[in-house]
Structure 1
Amino acid sequence: MSHLRQILLQHIAAELGSLFPTLLEDYLAAKYEACQAYSEAHLDRVLHARANGSLQQLHILQEVVRAAQKANLPAEMAPTSPRGHHYAKITLERFVLGGMRLESSHWSSAKYAKSLAQLNTALEPVTPDLFAAVSNGQPGERIFVVVAVAENPLNHGPEITFAVPFSSRQGFHFSFTLEEVRQAALTPAQADALEPLPVLKKRLDEAEPQTKQA
């Protein structure tokens, strides 16, 4: 499992680069500080957690997209279906990234989360045709990664991880710290050392039941 984790980290880092994690950390740190300052200035202490949570979720949505666009990655605030809300979406060659507040109770029931997480379901059979599909950029042939952000209870700052969820969304295969992704991006793997996407997805799917039981 550690080998598969390292391979996924190399793939993610190769596509994100080192600028996006750095920008995201800076942007979110500033917004989390602003959330805390607003709560302390305008709200009773008993309301701080509720207000901070709501504001943080909106800032995660905005800053994931803003940091990605600043790093020249294709990102958008995509509308939900049915309409009424938006979610962060970064579309890369091998991955689709979304952003969420880790404590959110709405993640597993959100329709867009279900649709995106199903990108990690099995690819059977694995045939040469899938390689052509990947090169053509079909969105269904990507792996879903969550930019999951929690609040550090000691300093109220953001703790950022990159996680690959189960297709059921009830937990994660692997998670990577922001620093792991940034360091891996600074020493990227050679392109010929990265596994083809269909092979990577198949290995991820085969690992899912074992990881769930662990």
Structure 2
Amino acid sequence: MSETRAERRRRTEERILGAARALFAELGFERATIRAVAKAAGVDPALVMQYFGSKQELFQQAVRVTPAVRSEAGVDGLVEELLSTLSVKMGELPQGTLAMMRSMLTHPEAAASARFVLKAQIDRLEEALPAADARLRAALMTMVMLGVTIGHQLLELDELRSAPPEEIAAALRPALRALAEAEKPADEPADELITGQ
């Protein structure tokens, strides 16, 4: 059975997106060119523009990330769920994710994509945290994990690259639990001390 025109177009679009993800991940938005993407995909640069309209739109399509689904596991389960992603964050990330991370501080479109993904994670964490300042805590937990990922993947820090994910998880666990747990109200022992009771 021969391939339809729509199927050929989809296959070509996917080839272009794959090439774009690889180049944006390696070079970032500014240095990756339409011509280089076209060459890597084996198509004419005009076809890339015909399908995607602009480098900006190509980038937006290439870095689109679907937020992960949140579990209903309580505070401890939430911390363990975050820590369980370390093996992924320390391994080979999807090229769209790497492209977004590499470009998010220099390109507004990448920054917007990163904010969208991070906001979705913060929303999920906030719902599961019992503290009054749950949103702040959720943001801090998210940034801790992002910082570890950037340190390992982009900065290639020896201290992170040489440590197995389980060791990093063990070191992070107390800090993430402290952020996740609501502080208990003080029992007001100070009044007793002042009155001598």
Q: What is the TM-score when the length of structure 2 is the normalising length? A: 0.30
Structure with higher Rg: it is 2
Query: Comparing both structures, which one devotes a greater share of its residues to strand?
Result: 1
Query: Comparing both structures, which one devotes a greater share of its residues to helix?
Result: 2
